[in-house]
Amino acid sequence: MSKYTQSEAVTVSQIVQAKAAGKKISSITCYDAAFARLIEQTGVDLVLVGDSLGNVMLGYDNTLPVTMDDMVHHTAAVTRILRRPFVCADMPFLSYNVSVEQALTNAGRLVQEAGAQAVKVEGGASVAPQVKALVQAGIPVMGHLGLTPQSVHAMGGYRVQGRGADAAKRMMDDALTLQEAGIFSLVLEMVPAELAGRITEALKIPTIGIGAGPKCDGQIIVLHDILGFDEEFNPKFLKKYANLGKVVRDAVSTYDQEVKAGSFPSAEHSFKD
């Protein structure tokens, strides 16, 4: 049972207004009920059920194989638990790019079947018609520029985006176009801090950075990355707040050794007649 009442739930207008009020927005990814229960007890404003679940939860090399059914399944697990944070779900690769109708149908599933309060789409001017149609249908939309992992092959890898005057201008133009189309916030991923600062100043809606420096209006990060599940994954922008990889490995190894030594279960963990 949540300790928060419905009236304390974060709304889309509170997220938009946080910018004008100078309040930083904290957001994090989540893909399941176990972690949602813990996040519910923190002050995090916005939870993204990211298609990063492809890498984090499903064992894929990238986000491209993630399907609508995967997103609906994981988003529903998260929204069954969360009451206070605002929940946004990623629209996976090619679930919105084909047509406005396709975007409406699939975003509708994330809201209707999975309980998301908003959806996120990657890309600039090319997805503006979809953004407009979703907003008109009453679905808040988050934009995503910079490194957009669904375009990993076109980008030639996971690289900083927006370096150089032309690329920076294209990103600024895309940000303004998406704002005009109606997004309520914009993720900037792996963007030079100075460019992210200029985009943040130019927009009325909040920017949410990941590897985009301190001037963004908020930050987002992949939950399992800050918890240190993967000791090999250490990009420059990542700060690890825990080392759960070691904690989990040590706990499972100790369990394994105690079972094999016959010391677990002891009398303490056994039932009497």
**Which one of 43-51, 68-76, 130-138, 253-261 is the stretch in contact with ligand KIV (CB under 6 A)?**
43-51
Question: Which residues, other chains included, contact 242 with Cβ-Cβ below 8 Å and sequence gap of 6+?
Answer: 226, 227, 228
Structure tokens that stand for 181 in this block: 């189309």
Angle (CA) 80-3-107 rounded to 5° is 30
Nearer to ligand KIV, 143 or 192 (CB): 143
Candidate list 10, 25, 50, 143; residue touching ligand KIV; CB under 6 A: 50
**Dihedral (CA of 169, 170, 171, 174) sign:** positive
Which one of 40, 189, 231, 268 is the catalytic residue? 189
Site for ligand KIV in 71-90 (CB under 6 A): 90
- Residue 148 CB, shortest distance to ligand KIV, in Å, is 8
Site for ligand KIV in 200-229 (CB under 6 A): 210, 220, 222
Nearer to ligand KIV, 78 or 269 (CB): 78
Q: How many other C-beta atoms lie within 10 A of the C-beta of residue 262?
A: 8
Q: Does the protein bind ligand KIV through residue 185 (CB under 6 A)?
A: no
- Residue 187 CB, shortest distance to ligand KIV, in Å, is 5
Site for ligand KIV in 122-181 (CB under 6 A): none
Q: How far apart are CA 162 and CA 170, in angstroms?
A: 8
**Which one of 30-38, 47-55, 232-240, 255-263 is the stretch in contact with ligand KIV (CB under 6 A)?**
47-55
For residues 226 and 244, the answer to whether their CB atoms sit within 8 Å is no
Nearer to ligand KIV, 148 or 179 (CB): 148
**Which one of 16-24, 46-54, 154-162, 258-266 is the stretch in contact with ligand KIV (CB under 6 A)?**
46-54
Q: Does the protein bind ligand KIV through residue 51 (CB under 6 A)?
A: yes
| Annotation marks residue 189 as catalytic | yes
**Which one of 48-56, 103-111, 159-167, 231-239 is the stretch in contact with ligand KIV (CB under 6 A)?**
48-56
Positions annotated as catalytic residues are 189
Residues binding ligand KIV (CB under 6 A)? 29, 48, 50-52, 90, 187, 189, 210, 220, 222
